[in-house]
């Protein structure tokens, strides 16, 4: 018996050594190794930590779906995946990368910032650190367009329920009118108060001035830097419009909360994300009248790309882990949560907007619509940078 025990002990020891050696050579073996033996003799695998910079607009959804993702115990070669999340403004994200930050994945609110980083990083580093057209490494995870939110009574006076293609021109004309609402027969309403965020710090403000510019030129593509810098008619129209804005805040959500909390005494019209508007519409009920949502004649999507950086610090394991994450964010489960609980539009066409209980049906009476106007084609990053610099030189927030 003693001999048998010795033989078994030797065999067990040899098996343990074999498991240890195989696990060192192939970390993936750890997941299928005999559990008690594994825990006794194998060191825990080092986790793969992804550093992600992301925009605040999707924080609630991202927190929820990342918690769900982690319950699935995702691994790459037997190594668990961990996250270091840093929320920033969309412009702050790409500027931090240009200034030397080393995230593995970035997710600003829009491809606008990816276009800018693509061009600016090539100029700064000699090659682009991100590639908007590479669907393997850079994918949108949710959508939400820019909308205008206003008080229905005032919208009826200004442009009626269907402003059509003149929405921006009518709003500009009203905003610069010295007599304000008096020119529309309602002098007791005072001046016409329009608000949007600072385009240098907030994506919705950037989207707003981009749509305004496209609308002035009557185009859906082909905007050039020369259009912005050389057309005096555009410059006068644009700057007069922007100089009427009361306050260029840093947060889209703040505008929506303020219009709900304080009513038309603070804002008549604000430019916000559709998802932000949907989130707050019910809170406006019974306060200062009915809020209405209007869609610009051409739209631009806040498409929340998740992009893996093309950088030396992004290892092969980090790239695999990032791909697993993006796959989950675009899965039917995560997309369903985005639609039903957060008012985003899905990137997965199998998730319908018109399903039972959808906020897109629930808020239809306030102007929320499933079908959208056509999207503009974004210009190169250098043209967008020209627009931002023109705004920055001429407008004082």
- What the block records as the tokens of 274 is 């559709």
Beta strands in 210-314 (DSSP E): 269-273, 291-294, 301-302, 305-308
Query: Is 144-302+358-394 the same fold as 48-140+305-346?
Result: yes
DSSP 375: B
The predicted structure's pLDDT at residue 364? 94
Helix, coil or strand: residue 95: helix
144-302+358-394 maps to CATH 3.40.1350.10:
no
**Neighbouring residues of 128: CB distance < 8 A, sequence distance ≥ 6:** 117, 118, 119, 121, 122, 310
CATH number for the domain formed by residue range(s) 48-140+305-346: 3.40.190.10
Query: What is the average pLDDT score of the chain?
Result: 88
Can you tell me the mean pLDDT for 147-170?
87
Q: Are 51 and 104 in contact (CB under 8 A)?
A: yes
- What the block records as the tokens of 320 is 């695999």
Helix, coil or strand: residue 145: strand
Q: State the pLDDT confidence band at 340, using cuts at 50, 70 and 90.
A: very high
What are the pLDDT digits (tens) for 250-281? 888 887 888 888 888 889 999 999 999 998 88
* The CA-based dihedral angle spanning residues 333, 339, 341, 344, taken in that order and rounded to the nearest 10 degrees: 120
Q: How far apart are the first and last CA of the chain?
A: 88
Q: Which of 366, 202, 161 is nearest to 274 (CA)?
A: 366
Can you tell me the mean pLDDT for 229-239?
98
Per-domain residue ranges for the chain?
A: 2-41, 48-140+305-346, 144-302+358-394
Helix, coil or strand: residue 349: coil
| pTM reported for the whole predicted model | 0.85
The predicted structure's pLDDT at residue 14? 55
Q: Are 388 and 199 in contact (CB under 8 A)?
A: yes
What are the pLDDT digits (tens) for 166-205? 899 999 999 999 999 999 999 999 999 999 999 998 899 9
Q: State the pLDDT confidence band at 25, using cuts at 50, 70 and 90.
A: very low
The predicted structure's pLDDT at residue 359? 95
What count of residues does the chain have?
397
Can you tell me the mean pLDDT for 17-28?
49
105-107/305-308 β-pairing: antiparallel
Share of the chain above pLDDT 90, in %: 71
Q: State the pLDDT confidence band at 373, using cuts at 50, 70 and 90.
A: very high
Can you tell me the mean pLDDT for 85-113?
94
């Amino acid at each position: 018996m003693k001999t048998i025990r010795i033989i078994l002990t030797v065999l067990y020891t040899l098996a343990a050594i074999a498991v240890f050696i195989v696990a060192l050579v192939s970390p993936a073996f750890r997941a299928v190794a005999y559990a008690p033996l594994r825990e006794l003799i194998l060191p825990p695998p080092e986790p793969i930590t992804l550093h992600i910079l992301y925009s605040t607009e999707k924080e609630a959804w991202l927190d929820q779906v990342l918690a769900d993702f982690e319950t699935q115990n995702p691994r790459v070669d037997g190594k668990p995946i961990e996250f270091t999340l840093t929320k920033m403004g969309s412009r702050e994200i790409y500027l931090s990368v240009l200034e030397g930050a080393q995230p593995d994945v970035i997710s600003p609110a829009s491809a606008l910032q990816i276009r800018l980083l693509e061009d600016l990083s090539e100029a700064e580093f000699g090659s682009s650190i991100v590639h908007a057209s590479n669907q393997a490494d850079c994918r949108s995870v949710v959508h939400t367009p820019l909308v205008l939110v206003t008080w229905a009574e005032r919208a009826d006076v200004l442009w009626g329920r269907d402003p059509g293609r003149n929405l921006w021109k009518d709003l500009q004309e009203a905003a610069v009118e010295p007599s304000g609402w008096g020119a529309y027969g309602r002098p007791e309403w005072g001046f016409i108060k329009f608000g949007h965020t600072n385009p240098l710090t907030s994506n919705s403000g950037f989207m707003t001035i981009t749509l305004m510019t496209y609308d002035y030129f009557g185009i859906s593509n082909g905007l050039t830097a020369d259009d912005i810098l050389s057309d005096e008619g555009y410059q006068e129209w644009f700057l007069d419009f922007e100089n009427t804005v009361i306050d260029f805040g840093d947060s889209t959500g703040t505008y929506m909360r303020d219009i709900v909390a304080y009513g038309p005494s603070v804002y008549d019209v604000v430019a916000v994300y559709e998802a932000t508007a949907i989130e707050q519409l019910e809170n406006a009920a019974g306060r200062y009248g009915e809020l209405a949502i209007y869609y610009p004649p051409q739209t631009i999507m806040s498409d929340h790309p998740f992009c893996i950086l093309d950088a030396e610090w992004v290892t092969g394991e980090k790239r695999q882990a990032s791909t697993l994450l993006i796959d989950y964010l675009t899965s039917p489960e995560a997309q369903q949560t985005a639609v039903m609980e957060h008012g985003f539009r899905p990137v997965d066409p199998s998730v319908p907007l018109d399903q039972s209980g959808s906020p897109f049906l629930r808020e239809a009476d306030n102007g929320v619509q499933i079908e959208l106007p056509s999207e503009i084609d974004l210009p190169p990053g250098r043209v967008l940078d020209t627009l931002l610099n023109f705004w920055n030189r001429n407008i004082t927030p």
